[in-house]
Amino acid sequence: MTPVRLAIVGCGAIAELGHLPGAALCPDVEVTLLVDRDARRAQTLADRFGIARVETDYACVADHADAACVALPPHLHRASAERLLASGTHVLMEKPLATNLVDAEAMVAAAQASGRVLAVAMMRRFARSARYLKALIDSGMLGRIERYVARSGAADAWPSRSPFTFDAEQAGGGALISNGCHDVDLLLWLLGPIASFEFYSDSPARMEGNCLLECRMASGAVATIEVSRTRTLANMIRIDGERGSVEAPLMGEAALILPKGAARDLLSPADPPPLDYAAVMAAQLADFAAAVRGERLPLADGRVGRDMLGLVEQCYAGARPLELPWDLPVRVPEAL
């Protein structure tokens, strides 16, 4: 089968660490073009990954590729998607789909009008642990799901090449939209729609470093998602059902099933194998390529990204302050 000719638009950290290594493992795509406004950066990556062509403007993508993976800062997503789709290019858009719901709706409409694929990079769905959780829950083995807890946080630096994550206009918000969208997406994918929720944030400026989403799902399950950019959390999901529980990394290679009543220490603690990140990115590209070939819809299409933005906007609109008991005002004695 001829691989889908793919352009990568935006040569920042995720292109270097995610999409290009993933593409190298994925026979369904062939990267024919790298685009970045910084030609030297694009050429550096092109040399490293053996890509034949670099450009500084995505206007020419349709001349060299059938599809584009767009990894530009979020405030550039709508304009780039509309232009690429109009030129007949299928689009895999990095998360979040856009910085706001209006833009996301316009992008979904543009995809419909063009008849091209618009997918959003909800790459955690392609991790083996997540696919396994999905199969486990859908099989009914755990019984009715009662509780879902995900704690997601890393204080380490992500080697971002531009400062957009520090600008609410460019990023659309903070921890929730930038990182938490993956955690919320897994919750919705695994447990279905949310009936009601409360959202707590540590930033009135939509630049939250920490946030907490407490949900009641339409299924009746209760869910908690904690997201942090200032703390390194457990980075695990625990799901309790009426017949047992399962624990898995947010993105990993294994999961631990605990039948009701089985103590956690019953099994010897074995370290799970390390995540094969490139394989996850390759699986995402393979899914996108299948959609481009018209075999099926992508696992997360533009509507998934749009609905996420609808939820994110509701979260921000109704945000309550995160309770941090040690964070009291600093009292200054009457200055002399």
Partner 1 sequence: MNLHGKTAFVTGGSGFIGGRLVEVLVRQYGMRVKTLVRATTSAGGGAFRAAAAGAEIVFGSMLDRATLDAALAGCDLVFHCAYGTHGSVAEQREVTVEGTRLLARAAGAAGIGHFIHLGTVASFGGNTPPCVDESFVDARLWNWPYARDKLDAERALDQEARAAGMGFTILRLGMVYGPYGTSYTVGPLHAITHGRLALVDDGRGVSSATYVDDVIQAMLLAAMRPGEGEIFMIRGPDRVTWRQFYQVYDGWIGRDSLVSLSKAEMIAASRGRWKAAARALLPATFAALKASPAFRRSASGLPYVRQLYARLGKRMIGPVVARNPGGPAPVERSTQLIPEIMIDYFANTSEFSIDKARSKLGYAPQFDLKRGMDFTEQWARWANLIR
Binding site for partner 1 (CB under 8 A): 13, 151, 153-157, 159-163, 165-166, 174-175, 202-205, 207-210, 228-234, 324-336
- Report the alpha-carbon distance of residue 241 to residue 185 in Å, rounded: 20
- Distance of closest approach, residue 158 Cβ to partner 1, in angstroms: 8
Q: At a CB cut-off of 8 Å and minimum separation 6, what does 320 contact?
A: 198, 199, 200, 201
Q: Give the whole-angstrom CA distance, residue 53 versus residue 197.
A: 47
Toward partner 1, which CB reaches closer, 39 or 233?
A: 233
Q: How far apart are CA 276 and CA 320, in angstroms?
A: 37
Q: How far is the CB of 113 from partner 1 (least distance, A)?
A: 36
Specify the residue, 157 or 266, whose C-beta has the smaller distance to partner 1: 157
Cβ atoms within 10 Å, residue 89: 26
| Least distance between partner 1 and beta carbon 203 (Å) | 4
Q: Is 217 helix (H, G, I), strand (E, B) or coil?
A: strand
Which residue lies nearer to partner 1 by CB, 53 or 206? 206
Instruction: State in angstroms the smallest separation of the CB of 153 from partner 1.
Output: 8
Pick between residue 163 and residue 259 the one whose CB is nearest to partner 1. Answer: 163
Q: CB nearer to partner 1: give 106 or 234.
A: 234
To partner 1, the closest distance from the beta carbon of 104 in angstroms equals 24
Q: Helices (H), strands (E): how many in the chain?
A: 12, 14
Buried b or exposed e, range 96-109, using 16+ CB within 10 angstroms: bbbbbbebbbbbbe
